[in-house]
Amino acid sequence: MTKTPVKKKQDKPTFEQAVAELKQIVDKIEDGQIPLEESLGQYEKGMALIQHCRTILQQAEKRIEKISANQDSEE
């Protein structure tokens, strides 16, 4: 119950990182300032990030943990 959470999926971006990168990608493609091939690559990456964010939300499990006061004070 007091096991420390997160630390999972170090390779995957956090929701915040994913959204930030997604905004950059949308801006870049909309600006039309990058070559077409890169646009295609960025599009795929953006769609993957959106899917990643949706997965985070769908799989979210409303985790609740508790730090016991006694264990804390022992530290």
Partner 1 sequence: MATMDRIYTVGQVNGLVQAALSQSLPARMTVRGEVRDFRCHHSGHCYFLLKDTSGVLPCVMWSSRFRSVKFMPENGMSVLATGYVDVYAQGGKYQFYIDRLDPEGTGALQKAFEQMVAKLKAEGLFGEEHKQSLPSFPQCIAVLTSESGAAWHDIADSIHGRWPAVTLVLCPVPVQGEGAAARMAESIARINARRADLPVDLMIVGRGGGSMDDLWAFNEEVLARAIFASRIPVISAVGHEVDITVADLVADARASTPTQAGVVAVPDEAEVSEDLAHMARRLSVSLRARLDLCHSQFANLETADVLRRPDRMIHDRHQWLDDWGETMRGTVRDRVRAAQDGLVVYQAQIGHLEPYRLLGRHRVAVGTLAGCLESAITARVAQRKLLLEAPAHRLAALNPKSVLGRGFTITRNGRTGTLVRHREAVQLGDLLVTELAGENIIESKVTKQ
**C-beta separation of 51 from 19 below 8 A:** no
User: Least CB distance from residue 34 to partner 1, whole Å?
Assistant: 9
Neighbours of 25 (CB within 10 A): 20
Structure-block tokens of residue 8: 């999972």
The site string for partner 1 over 27-66 (x = CB under 8 A, - otherwise) reads --xx-x---x--xx--x--xx--x--xx-xx--xxxxxxx
11 binds partner 1 (CB under 8 A): no
Q: Which residues of the chain form contacts with partner 1 (CB under 8 A)? A: 4-7, 14-16, 19, 22-23, 25-26, 29-30, 32, 36, 39-40, 43, 46-47, 50, 53-54, 56-57, 60-69, 72, 75
